[in-house]
Structure 1
Amino acid sequence: MRRTDVAEAWLGVATAVLVTALAPLAGAVLAGNVDAELLHEQQGWHRTAAVLTENATATETGVAVGEDTARADALVRWTAPDHSVRTAMAQVPAGAKAGDTTVVWTDAGGRLRHQPMTPHQAEVLGDLAGACAAAGVCVLLVGGRRVVVRVGLDRYRARAWERAWAEVEPRWTHRHA
């Protein structure tokens, strides 16, 4: 075995060890951080009563647990904690009429927010981010190994082969340089 073959074998072992250790670690850390950050971001959000300033018409329909979930965008008006009146487009029940009251989610500054995620939804998104991080670590490590083998070891072997052939070729072909 050539030294480069031994180096390549050890590089493969090191890559496997690093993938086995770092991919799950990166995935778990990122999953936990994303989950916690999503839930933390939503902590100050609260339900706020809003009045529709225009009629809403359905744009999407769906059924969840036997419940009609048709939603539509409509302009709504609400009062922020600083007593200023705000308006923005929000998702409201389809078919709601101007003047109807609905519930929107706002943050501590009175800015409109989407409906908060449930802890389960945040966990699922965290797990997805963690899986992507783990896959990214694998791609980086395996790709790095491949670059080292191609750029370093294979080029070194090719040069060594050329040097060895330059020595042997004249004896085999009876040509002398």
Structure 2
Amino acid sequence: MRRSDVAEGWIGVATAVLVAGLAPLTGAVLAGNVDAQLLSQQQGWHRTSAVLTQDAASAATAVTTGQDTGKAQATVRWTAPDHSVRTAPAQVTAGAKAGSTTLIWTDPSGRLRHQPMTPHQTGVLSDLAGACAAGGVCVLLLGGRRIIVRGALDRWRARAWERAWAEVEPRWTHRHA
């Protein structure tokens, strides 16, 4: 067995140990960070009463999205904490009439926000991000081993083969340089 084969074997073992240790650790750390960021991002969001400035579309328009959520988009008006009046399109009950009130989600500065994610939704999103990070670590380590280490060893083996052939070839072909 060549020294390069032994080195390649040990590098494979080291890569396996790194994958087994770093992939779960990276995934867990990223999942925790994403979960914390999602929860802190939604901190302070609260429900605010808003008035529709136009009629909301009927439920029949929901067919274009492929699902009937019972919601439609309409422009609403609300008062922010700084007492400024704001307007923006929001998801409201389908068929609601102009002048009726609805509840929207706003942040502490009064900007319109989507409904906050449930703890289950943030957990699923965090776990997905962690799994992607763990997979990325595996791809980087295994790909790096394959491309960098194996490529370097193959180049070293080719040079060793050329040196060995340069010694043997004159004896086989009876040519002398």
**3-state secondary structure, aligned to 2:17:** helix
Structure 1 partner of 2:81:
81
Structure 2 partner of 1:56:
56
Q: Which ranges of 4 or more aligned residues in structure 1 deviate by more than 4 Å?
A: none
**Residue pair 1:69, 1:93 contacting (<8 A) in 2 also:** no
Structure 2 partner of 1:37:
37
Structure 2 partner of 1:2:
2
Q: Structure 2 unaligned segments of length 5 or more: list them.
A: none
* Identity in percent: 78
**Residue pair 2:8, 2:150 contacting (<8 A) in 1 also:** no
Residue type matched to 2:62 in 1? Answer: E
Structure 2 partner of 1:142:
142
**Mapped pair 1:125 → 2:125:** yes
TM-score normalised per structure 1: 0.93
Q: Per-residue CA shift, 1:131-169, capped at 9, x if unaligned? A: 000000001101110122343111000011011011111
Structure 1 partner of 2:92:
92
Distance 1:44 1:135 in 2: 34
Q: Per-residue CA shift, 1:31-62, capped at 9, x if unaligned? A: 11111110111111000001111111144369
Structure 1 partner of 2:167:
167
Q: Per-residue CA shift, 1:63-111, capped at 9, x if unaligned? A: x9xxx73211111100001111000111111111111111100000000
Coordinate RMSD, CA, aligned:
1.6
Distance 2:27 2:71 in 1: 35
Distance 2:2 2:121 in 1: 53
Q: Per-residue CA shift, 1:17-40, capped at 9, x if unaligned? A: 000000000000111111111011
Residue type matched to 1:134 in 2? Answer: A
Q: Structure 1 unaligned segments of length 5 or more: list them.
A: none
